[in-house]
Structures are given as structure tokens and as C-alpha cells.
Amino acid sequence: MWRVTGNSSDWFFRIGAYLRRSGDALSQLINVALFLSDNPNESLSGRSYRQKHYWFWGKMLKVIDFLFFLLEEEHCRKSYENDLRRASALIEKAQDKING
């Protein structure tokens, strides 16, 4: 995985993808370990968007979106949608395995 092959843009893309996956994993860990979530596959940002109608999570959404503003707009909404896509893909894969 860490072997550098191919052109430099390919290597750069792999490092970026690795950092993104690591960030997702860290967000899920923080959500479970610090905020006591019962869903280990949900990111902190996704949870903030999903529960934005609660006072605490509404404030958390604003803080996270502010911190990520330079990288992307509506970070928490996009994270929530990514959480749903990952969950759907996992269910689809399991159903394919069950159905043969």
C-alpha cells in the first residue's frame, strides 16, 4: 500500500484517499467514545446533521460547518449523506452475499 509506484498524481491521490478514510474513522471513534453514540458507523458530522433539531447537536453542526468552511460548504449535510451511502452499500453487499 505504501509502495510508491506510477506517476506522482496517482500517489498523491492514494495519500488523499487514505487521509480521508482516516478522518472518517477518527470522526466515528470520537462520536462513539466521547459522545456515547450507539451507532459505530456514524460520523460526528453526520450525527450533528441528523440530530440538528436538538439544541446541542444544532450548535455542534454550526461549529463543525464553520471549521470545515474552507474545505467544503455544508460539511455536516454531506457527511450525513455519505454515512447513508456507506450504510446502503453495506446492506446491499450483505444482501448479495445472502442471496448468492
pLDDT digits (tens, 9 = 90+) for 56-90: 999 999 999 999 999 999 999 999 999 999 999 99
- Answer whether residue 21 is part of any domain: yes
pTM of the complete model: 0.83
Has residue 77 been placed in a domain?
Answer: yes
Q: Is 26 part of any domain?
A: yes
Handedness of CA 88, 33, 54, 75 (dihedral sign): negative
Percent of the chain at pLDDT > 90 equals 78
Flag whether pLDDT at 1 surpasses 50: no
Is 66 part of a structural domain of the chain? yes
Q: How far, in whole angstroms, is CA 95 from its chain's centroid?
A: 23
Q: What confidence tier does 51 reach under pLDDT thresholds 50, 70, 90?
A: very high
Structural domain span for residue 22:
8-99
Q: How would you label 1-25 residue by residue, b for 16+ Cβ within 10 Å and e otherwise?
A: eeeeeeeeeeeeeeeeeeeeeeebe
- Asked, for residue 46, whether it belongs to a domain, the answer is yes
Question: Does residue 1 belong to any structural domain of this protein?
Answer: no
- Total domains in the chain come to 1
In a domain, 15, yes or no: yes
Q: Residue 64: helix, strand or coil by DSSP?
A: helix
User: Is residue 68 a part of any domain in this protein?
Assistant: yes
